[in-house]
Amino acid sequence: MRKTNTANPKTTTSKHEINPMRNIKVQKLTLNIGAGKDQVVLEKAQKLLNTISGVTSVRTLTQKRIAAWGLRPGLPIGVKVTLRKAKALELIPKLLYAKDNKLAVNNFDDNGNVSFGIKEYTDIRDARYDPEIGSMGLQCSITLSRPGSRIKIRKVLKRIVPIHHRVSKVDAIKFMKENFGAILASEEEE
């Protein structure tokens, strides 16, 4: 009969707790403002995102023609900026502060994404009101992933990430609670 080593900590914990490939990380943070056809609002939105993120923002262009709205392909209608690594981790607590660290369950999707809107940029910690910009809101989207999920976006030998390795809604909620102190709106009511 084989003896098991009870002194080994690896035998006392589950395999998911010791596997570093199961750790969740913030892949990116995307800030977005839709301005429509109004170019004045677009300029203000671009200035706002540059101020908040400290990175140059990019204009988003229409892809389709929608005659009823007066849109044609190539017309700039929004502004976005993508932050990764340390800049994203630095900005997320400030954005959550604007929401009082409260997120609803419907802010999480089944693929490890967290999205929420901020009605006024002045609610963000350390953001000052700028009279040139006025009052404006923005959309925030946090993408969570595990190590190895690059296989779905790489150029050579693309593969599908297995279901058990994807970040689920429950995993994303747990990650936001533990790392950023997020509170679910339904928990607060109880």
Q: In this predicted model, what pLDDT tens digit does every residue of 107-164 receive, in sequence order?
A: 999 998 999 999 999 999 989 999 999 999 999 999 999 999 899 999 999 999 999 9
- Evaluate whether 61 touches 74 at the Cβ level (below 8 Å): yes
Size (the chain), residues? 190
Query: Can you say whether the dihedral through the CA atoms of 80, 117, 121, 39 is positive or negative?
Result: positive
- Pinpoint the alpha helices (H) of the chain: 9-12, 15-18, 39-53, 85-98, 169-180, 185-189
Rounded Cα gap, residues 179 and 177, in angstroms: 6
Distance of alpha carbon 146 from alpha carbon 112, whole angstroms:
10
Give the C-alpha separation, 33 to 137, whole Å: 7
What is the average per-residue pLDDT within 87-113? Answer: 94
Q: What pTM was estimated for this model as a whole?
A: 0.84
The domain over range 24-189 is classified in CATH as 3.40.50.360? no
Could you tell me the two tokens for 5?
């080593």
- Bridge-based pairing of strands 138-145 and 25-34 is antiparallel
- The total of other beta-carbon atoms located within 10 Å of residue 149's CB is 18
3-state secondary structure of 86: helix
- Position 190 scores a pLDDT of 45
pLDDT at 71 over 90: no
Q: What angle do CA 39, 45, 47 make, to 5 degrees?
A: 105
